[in-house]
Amino acid sequence: MASITEPVLPQASEMLLFAQDVVMAFGGIRALDHVSFWVPPGGAVGLLGQNGSGKTTLLNVITGQLLPQTGSVYFDGREMLGSKPDVYAKVGISRVFQSVQVFPRMTVFENLMVAQLGSGNSDTSADFTHSVLKRVDLEDYADVMTRDLSYGHQRLLEIAMALAARAKLILFDEPTAGLGNDLAGRVIACLRELNASGTAIIVIEHETNVVFQTCDVVWVLNEGQVIARGTPDEIRNDRQVLELYLGKPKT
Ligand SMILES: Nc1ncnc2c1ncn2[C@@H]1O[C@H](COP(=O)(O)OP(=O)(O)O)[C@@H](O)[C@H]1O
Ligand SMILES: [Mg+2]
Q: Could you tell me if the CB of 31 is within 6 A of ligand 1?
A: yes
**52 touches ligand 1 (CB under 6 Å):** yes
Given the CA of residue 58, which atom of ligand 1 is nearest to it?
17
Supply the pLDDT for residue 117. Answer: 83
Q: Which residues contact 43 (CB under 8 A, 6 or more apart)?
A: 16, 200, 201, 216, 217
**Domain 12-218 class, CATH top level:** alpha beta
- pLDDT reported for residue 99: 53
**Which residues, including other chains, have CB under 8 Å from residue 175's CB and lie 6 or more apart?**
96, 97, 155, 187, 191, 203, 205, 210
End-to-end CA distance of the chain: 29
To the nearest 5 percent, what fractions of the chain are helix, strand and coil?
A: 40, 25, 35
Identify the segments of the chain with pLDDT beneath 70.
1-7, 97-101, 245-251
Whether the CB of 49 sits within 6 Å of ligand 1: yes
Give the pLDDT confidence score for residue 5 in this predicted structure.
Answer: 57
pLDDT at 247: 58
The residues spanned by each domain of the chain are 12-218
pLDDT for residue 251: 47
φ/ψ of residue 96, rounded to 5: -115, 135
Query: To test ligand 1's pocket by mutation, which of 30, 32, 56, 57 has the most ligand atoms within 8 angstroms of CB?
Result: 57
Contact 163, 7 (CB under 8 A): no
Per-residue pLDDT of 57-108, as tens digits, reads: 999 999 999 999 999 999 999 999 999 988 998 899 988 866 556 899 999 9
pTM (predicted TM-score): 0.89
The finding on whether 35 has its CB within 6 A of some atom of ligand 1 is no
Q: Angle between the 108-119 and 126-135 helix axes, to the nearest 10 degrees? A: 110
The number of residues making up the chain comes to 251
Rounded CA separation 168/43 (Å): 10
Give the per-residue pLDDT at 60. Answer: 95
- What is residue 250's predicted lDDT score, i.e. its pLDDT? 47
- Give dist(CA 167, CA 199) in Å, integer: 7
Task: Report whether residue 24 contacts ligand 1, using a CB cutoff of 6 Å.
Answer: no
Q: Residue 221's pLDDT is what?
A: 94
